[in-house]
Amino acid sequence: MDLSYSEEYEKFRSQVRTFLEAHWPPKDSETSREDQTARFRQQAIEAGYLARSIPKKYGGSEQEADVLKAAVIREEFRRVRAPGEVAGIGPGMLVPTLLDRGEEWQKEKFVAPTMRGEIVWCQGYSEPGSGSDLASLQTKGELVGDEWVINGQKIWTSGAQHADYMFCLTRTEPEAQKHAGISYLLIDMHQPGIDVRPLKQMNGSADFNEVFLTDVRTPKDWIVGKRGEGWLVSRTTLKHERNMIGNAEQSALMFAGLVDLARKTQRNGRSALQDPSVRQHLVEIEGRIKAHQYSGHRQLTKAAKNQDPGIIQLMNKLNSTNIGHAVAKLSIELLEDDSLLEPGSRLPDSELDLSGWMNQYMWSLGIAVAGGTANIQRNVIGERGLGLPRDAAVQRS
């Protein structure tokens, strides 16, 4: 397998490096970092290096689809720590969904300000009692005149307390079969009837929320796709969510931090990195990361050939969450009792920053649920990839 880039792409890499040398890091020190970042992103869009898949009329650079050029850009931007595109579920999940399935006015209204980070979105999917069986959701949307009136409850809604809008699955056709009775609505979060209640997590933060919707209203045409086709639209969004989570580059970054932790941690009077048992665990994790990276190359190759990645995408998401948990688990073992200190604590006269590892451990338990639970991923991989019989519980639903 030849994983090197062709001469054409290495020439493109040189162009990206020339651009970065001229624009990042910024030379002036009088403007704020926030303004510098915003200006750099705009320059990168104009040069064709960011927002490549987005048409110019929606604020993008409208470049021809080329996943290898996109990979080169990511590598070079990361090398010099230059800002990439604005992160979050709005740019990462809603924007590609609108580009695929939205109306023209929806793209004009929402895409550009979302990509600039001027408006923030949350995702209204999960509900109490609808865990892995998302299609059993009960939040109702009733068309009254020119408005949808929405009542129900969402849960595990990341960032709802900061969101300007929600993209939300609602049951609008109560007589239809459960997958056929759902619509995908856009909702303004700044209106009466929306009650956001933070959920306290075991690490003390509150990234998730319950969202209660009581006679919440949204215009009739704030629907993505046709009425009753929300399940199909949501699958487009979930595909992009899994791509966000299943990235091998994040696994490699976490592993580099773990090796550094092992190097700085003392065990029996010497660096833990010299302990054979620790080295064995590290090698096992590194092997899984290498497999994940090559699986990522396989997905990239299929994308470059405009082929459906199939279950490879699901495998990469599952690999990512499993590796994240293995990295966090070993970090806790290295820190021993010190891992129990309150997040943000630092030992006297120690260069070890303890704050991130316990959070990473706790977070690794939750991320396995995002974008479809790990068990659901295993079911789909087993059924579609290995040809195993369908799960009995799913057959009954």
Residues with catalytic annotation?
A: 241
For helices 355-367 and 248-264, give the axis angle rounded to 10 degrees: 150
Q: Which two tokens stand for residue 356?
A: 């991130």
Q: Decide: 178 and 130 in contact? Cβ < 8 Å.
A: no
Q: Which two tokens stand for residue 117?
A: 């980070």
Q: Which of 183, 130, 125 is nearest to 158 (CA)?
A: 125
318's CB contacts (< 8 A; 6+ apart) are 246, 374, 377, 378, 381
What is the full DSSP assignment across 311-325?
THHHHHHHHHHHHHH
389's CB contacts (< 8 A; 6+ apart) are 383
Q: Decide: 382 and 318 in contact? Cβ < 8 Å.
A: no
Residue with tokens 């009329």: 57
Strand segments (E) across the chain: 121-124, 140-144, 147-154, 165-171, 182-188, 194-199, 208-219, 223-224, 266-267, 270-271
Strand segments (E) across 57-181: 121-124, 140-144, 147-154, 165-171
For helices 7-23 and 67-79, give the axis angle rounded to 10 degrees: 40
Q: Which of 137, 149, 155 is nearest to 197 (CA)?
A: 155
